Each structure stands twice: as structure tokens, then as C-alpha cells.
Chain A
Amino acid sequence: QMTQSPSTLSASVGDRVTITCRASQSITTSLAWYQQKPGKAPHVLIYKASNLEGGVPSRFSGSGSGTEFTLTISSLQPDDSATFYCQQYDTYPWTFGQGTKVEIK
């Protein structure tokens, strides 16, 4: 089971934003982060906990291992308004966090 926090956050352009994802048991580094905008499919930002997917802006970064993980946006941009999900792929069944909605103030 994956638990994300917070469920929503509101921040200003330029702010540093951190989202946390906790696993109920160790998943080593088998964790991905996705961004989903309204009416669109999710797309991957980070895989293997800290690897940036090709084409993703460098303001996104991931860290963690075992049971605790973070997604950081170093300088929030207007285009980052979206819902973010973590997903573990260490153990069947593959599970997602409940999502964090990021709003721009």
C-alpha cells in the first residue's frame, strides 16, 4: 500500500514543493512518479525513485529508498498545476498512491 501526502497543496510560482510517498513495506527503489493533468493520461516523470525520464524538466527530482520517497519541484511553474501519483512496481499487485493535487496560488 502506498500513502501519499499531502492530498492537496497550494503554492506560488517559484516555490519549492515536496510530495511524500510512503510504502507499507520496503520496495527498494522500485518507485515511479507520474503527473496527470485534467482530461489527460498520466505521464511518467521519475522512475527507479530518482531517475528523470527523458524530456522531463530538470526542476523535477526524486529521492528515497525502502519505504519513504519524495518528489521535489525545485521552482514551481504555472504548467505544473496537476495531480501527481507515486507507483510501486516492486511487488504484485502494482499500486498507486492516492494522488496529490498541486494548485498554483
Chain B
Amino acid sequence: EMQLVESGGLVVHPGGSLRLSCAVSGFTLNDYTMYWVRQAPGKGLEWVSLINWDGDDTYYSDSVKARFTISRDNSKKSLYLEMNSLRTEDTALYYCARGAVPRTWGGYFDLWGPGTLVTVSS
């Protein structure tokens, strides 16, 4: 069964750092572009970042650029999101998601994890 499972969400103070992980199973990670999408409590969905299938290309939303870093380790079947200089507005459920079409980027998301909650609060 194809599955994504996020971990690493915690309560952290403003200005703090956190690293999220997404464990992949049931498919070959190195064939797919991967994404992070977040959802603030009671709000809609916001795309955060993407990394292409071999890790050569990364993109970020303006709201997290220069603070967050996406990475992947295909040998460990894992995706990561390093989050620095956290703000209260970064409080959200963070989902990892798979791009639907292998070896392309800029697509829709056909597989999602259950999410991991990041709370930024003093």
C-alpha cells in the first residue's frame, strides 16, 4: 500500500526551529516530485514547497522562502522540511504530498499523508 507518514510536529517558541520528516512506503520515491502543503487551524490549504525527483530543483512560497529548506533522501525513503525563524503564522498542520505524474514537476497531488501539527507559540 502506498503511504506517506509525517512526523516531527511540536510546540515551539517564535524564532525557534523544527525539522519535519515524511516517511514513504509502497512506491519508488526517486520517481516523484514531492511537496509540503500546510493548513492553518480552520483555514484553507497553502502550498509551501516542492523538490523534484532527484533533488536538483526546489521551490518555496514567498511566505517561507529563506526560512524553510526542503530536502530528500531517496535511499532512506524520506522527505524533510527544515523550518527556521518560526513565526506564529506558521502554526498549521503540515502535509507531505506526492506529485501525480512521475518525473515531472508542477502537477497535482495524488497521495497525501495524515499531517503533523506544528504550533508556534510563546
Contacts and interface: CB of A to CB of B under 8 A. Distances in A.
A40 B112 CA distance: 10
Nearest to A83: B44
Nearest to A4: B44
Indicate the size class of the contact surface on chain A: 20 to 34
Interface residues of B, number: 20
Contacts, number: 53
A69 interface: no
A97 B121 CA distance: 27
Contact of A94 (B44, B47, B62, B100): B47
A25 to B, nearest CB: 16
Contacts of B15: none
Given A96-B45, A99-B44, A44 B59 contact: no
B93 to A, nearest CB: 9
A84 B37 CA distance: 16
B107 A92 contact: no
Contacts of B112: 41-43
Contacts of A40: 114
B85 interface: no
B100 A44 contact: yes
Given A92-B59, A93-B62, A98 B44 contact: yes
Interface string B8-37: 000000000000000000000000000100
B61 A85 contact: no
B110 interface: yes
Given A41-B95, A44-B100, A85 B44 contact: yes
6 contacts: A42-B45, A87-B45, A89-B107, A90-B106, A94-B50, A98-B44
Interface of A: 30, 32, 34, 36, 40-44, 47, 53, 85, 87, 89-90, 92-99
The 4 A-B residue pairs whose C-beta atoms are closest, nearest first, are A32-B108, A41-B112, A94-B47, A96-B45
